[in-house]
Structure 1
Amino acid sequence: MARNVWREIGARPAEAFLIVAEIGPDFGGGAREDDPFDTARLRFAANLMVRTCTHSNLRGDFAVQPLREPQALVIHCAVTDAADFAQLREVVGATEIEAGPWRGRCDVLLDEARHERLLAIAGPPDSRGAGRRARVARERESEDPRHWGRI
Structure 2
Amino acid sequence: MARTVWSDLGTRPGSAFLIVAEIAADFGGGPTADDPFDTARLRFAANLMVRTCTQSKLGGDFAVQPLRDSGALLIHCAVTEPADFARLCEIVGGRDHEAAPWRGLRRFLLDEARHESLLAVAGPPDSRGAGRRVRAAREREAADRQQWGRI
Judge same fold: TM > 0.5, yes or no. yes
Residue 143 of structure 1, CA deviation: 5.4
Percent identity, please. 72
2: CA distance, partners of 1:20 / 1:44: 15
Equivalent residues of 1:32, 1:38 under 8 A apart = yes
Residue 100 of structure 1, CA deviation: 1.2
| Alignment match, 1:104 | 104
Equivalent residues of 1:141, 1:147 under 8 A apart = no
Residue 146 of structure 1, CA deviation: 4.8
Amino acid at match of 1:98: E
Amino acid at match of 1:52: T
Query: Per the alignment, in what secondary structure is the counterpart of residue 77 of structure 2?
Result: strand
2: CA distance, partners of 1:54 / 1:77: 12
2: CA distance, partners of 1:40 / 1:32: 10
2: CA distance, partners of 1:83 / 1:136: 43
Amino acid at match of 2:69: E
The answer as to 2:2 corresponding to 1:6 is: no
Query: Per the alignment, in what secondary structure is the counterpart of residue 31 of structure 2?
Result: coil
The answer as to 2:34 corresponding to 1:34 is: yes
Could you tell which deviates more after superposition, 52-61 or 25-34? 25-34
The answer as to 2:41 corresponding to 1:60 is: no
| Alignment match, 1:95 | 95
2: CA distance, partners of 1:141 / 1:103: 49
Equivalent residues of 1:29, 1:112 under 8 A apart = no
**Which deviations, in whole Å up to 9, do the C-alpha atoms of 1:78-111 show, x marking residues without a partner?**
0000111011011011211111101110100101
2: CA distance, partners of 1:143 / 1:97: 53
Which segments of 5 or more consecutive residues in structure 2 lack a partner in the other structure? none
| Alignment match, 2:24 | 24
Number of residue pairs matched by the alignment: 148
Query: Per the alignment, in what secondary structure is the counterpart of residue 18 of structure 1?
Result: strand
Which segments of 5 or more consecutive residues in structure 1 lack a partner in the other structure? none
Equivalent residues of 1:16, 1:104 under 8 A apart = yes
Following TM superposition, the consecutive aligned residue runs of length 4 or more in structure 1 with deviations greater than 3 angstroms are: 139-148
Amino acid at match of 1:131: G
